[in-house]
Structure 1
Amino acid sequence: MKKLFAILISATVLAAPFAAQAQDWRHGPDRHRAPVVEKKVVIKKTRWVKGHRMTHAERRRMAEIRDYRRYRLSAPPRGYRWVRVDNDFLMVGIATGVISSIIAGR
């Protein structure tokens, strides 16, 4: 029994360098990889100003509000409409794209 135990211990000692080498080989390519670059996403929040003329791109991304009473808004005059951007409501001229009124979301 002592001989068997001695053989197992000596085999473990002799096999240890091979096990360490195998572990380094497995994790070796990870050490030589290029560092991971994380991109920071910046969201630009536009502050709307009365009298600002909106571009066509800005108008395209806005949702028109047809049921303005649901949001407790007054009826828009002829030639204007309510649009919702994020949590703000804007009254915009249909033909010109000029903001005539701004209401912060509730």
Structure 2
Amino acid sequence: MKKLVTLMLAATVLAAPMAQARDDHRQPDRSRHVAVEKKVVVKKHRWSRGHRLSAAERRHMRDVRDYHRYRLSAPPRGYRWVQVDNDFLLIGITSGIISSIIAAR
């Protein structure tokens, strides 16, 4: 009889955590879930003639050396063509002032 009671007590002690773990999956999760939505802002520049570009802005632009490929005229002395997204800007090499803007297709 003592062996039977000891066996039942041991089974109860071992089965209780397993039963509780199974019940936890059935109940909705009580922990708090917070959804964070990040808003991404893409800043598009509206270029204008006479705008002075900083040296940092000019470093991030792509030089256009084969301007005939894009049907651009040859830049005058002291100017160069740069491409920013779909825009071509004719800027002064030393001053960084935009003298012409052409939107690509």
Same structural fold, with TM-score higher than 0.5 when normalized by the shorter chain: yes
In the alignment, which of 21, 24, 29 is matched to residue 22 of structure 1? 24
Of 75-84 and 33-42, more deviation after overlay is shown by 33-42
User: Percent of counterpart pairs with the same letter?
Assistant: 62
Structure 1: where are the runs of 5+ without partners?
1-16
The answer for the alignment partner of 1:53 in structure 2 is 52
Cα distance in 1 for partners of 2:38, 2:21 equals 38
Alignment partners' CA distance in 1, 2:83 and 2:55: 15
CA RMSD of aligned residues (A): 2.1
Say which structure is richer in helix.
1
1:26-52 per-residue CA deviation (whole Å, 9 max, x = no partner) reads: x53xx4234021211100100000000
Tell me: CA distance 1:70–1:94, structure 2 relative to 1, closer, same or farther (3 Å).
Answer: same
Partner of residue 67, structure 1: 66
Amino acid at match of 1:63: R
Q: TM-score, structure 2 length as denominator?
A: 0.74
Structure 2: runs of 5+ lacking an equivalent: 1-18
Q: For this pair of structures, how many residues does the alignment match? A: 87
1:42 aligns with 41
